[in-house]
Amino acid sequence: QNRPLALLGLGRALLSLDRPEEALFALTNCIEFHPLAASTYQARQLASLAYLELDQVEAAEQMLMANLTDEHLTPSSLEWQTSIFDLGRLLYLTDRYAEAITRLEEAIARYPDSPRALEARYLAAESYRRRGMQLSAPPGDDVPASAYATRAADSAAMLASAVDRYIELRQVIVETEAERMLSLNEQRILRNTYVAQVQALSQLQRWQAAIDVYTAATNRYQRNPEALEAYVQIAHCYREMDQPLDARGTLEQAKIVLARLPDDANFTAA
């Protein structure tokens, strides 16, 4: 009776030791020889992680889909919840952004209070932005000229959705920060939303809106190297708006900020 739990625990330990092939041996034994055991659902989820470590994406996806389509598992279970978050992340990591959006949005809607919802919001926003960038790229020779306008409109819609989701995400983090200190991961996500939102706005040529976002970033990161990047990008936006004097003034501000940064400022991390 305890063998499925032992195989699951062994697989988890081996995966934590960065030994995914050995982990898979234990986990697949649990799945194949104890298909009705409760441990099997967790074993599938961990096996998916192991397959992904080994760059076997199709097998990783199959493990997660087995949980999501299992008639004995419901969305109220932790294993189903974990699997849909993992699937959204897998689709994002493999550049399947349209599919990732569907799964991530479903996960966020079902489990808004999950500890993983914040990362899912970020990955969803990034998926909208990256899908928009894909559609904005020059289409191949097999795409008819009549489809250009449709692709451009779809790209703009995706980028606009990304902007909206970055705004929502930043609001969620700011509200969290009012209640407690942010974790390191939350701080990184917050920082990245500034950069990614500006990238989306720049692609849409909404230069003033991009300046506003980066101005907020400079206020938040005055004593960090991130402020320099923000000033440089603000200057770029001013140049695109044909305002060279403002661009030059912004770069002069960047020089002042650089001179004031502490000697141990971590430029590599920024």
Closest CA to 198 of 153, 233, 156: 233
DSSP state of 137: S
Please give the pLDDT value at position 261. Answer: 86
**What percentage of the chain exceeds 90 in pLDDT?**
79
Predicted pLDDT at 183 = 93
In this prediction, residue 131 carries a pLDDT of 95
Q: For residue 63, what pLDDT is reported?
A: 97
Q: What is the pLDDT of residue 142?
A: 66
Cα distance from N-terminal residue to C-terminal residue, the chain: 51
Percent of the chain with pLDDT over 70: 96
pLDDT at residue 144, as a whole number: 67
Q: What local confidence, expressed as pLDDT, does residue 149 receive?
A: 75
Q: Which two tokens stand for residue 25?
A: 């041996």
Q: Judge whether residue 19 has pLDDT over 90.
A: yes
Average pLDDT across the chain, whole number:
92
Question: Could you tell me if 125 and 162 are in contact, meaning their C-beta atoms sit under 8 angstroms apart?
Answer: yes
Q: What is the pLDDT of residues 79-122, one digit of tens each?
A: 999 999 999 999 999 999 999 999 999 999 999 999 999 999 99
For residue 152, name the pLDDT band (cuts at 50, 70, 90).
Answer: confident
Written as six digits, the tokens of 187 are 């701080």
Q: What is the pLDDT, as a whole number, of residue 145?
A: 64
Inform me whether the pLDDT recorded for 14 exceeds 80.
yes
pTM of the predicted protein model: 0.88
Q: Is the pLDDT of residue 237 over 90?
A: yes
pLDDT score recorded for residue 13: 98
Residue-level pLDDT at 268: 79
Structure tokens at 143: 């795409």
The secondary structure of residue 145, as a DSSP letter, is: G
For residues 130-151, give the mean pLDDT: 77
Query: What is the maximum span of the chain, computed from C-alpha positions, in angstroms?
Result: 75
How does residue 252 score in pLDDT terms, banded at 50, 70 and 90?
very high
Torsion of CA 255, 259, 263, 264, to 10 degrees: -40
Closest CA to 28 of 56, 1, 50, 57: 50
Of residues 140 and 46, more confidence is placed in 46
Closest of 240, 234, 194 to residue 217, by C-alpha: 194
> Is the pLDDT score of 270 beyond 70?
no
Rounded CA-CA distance 198/192 in Å is 10
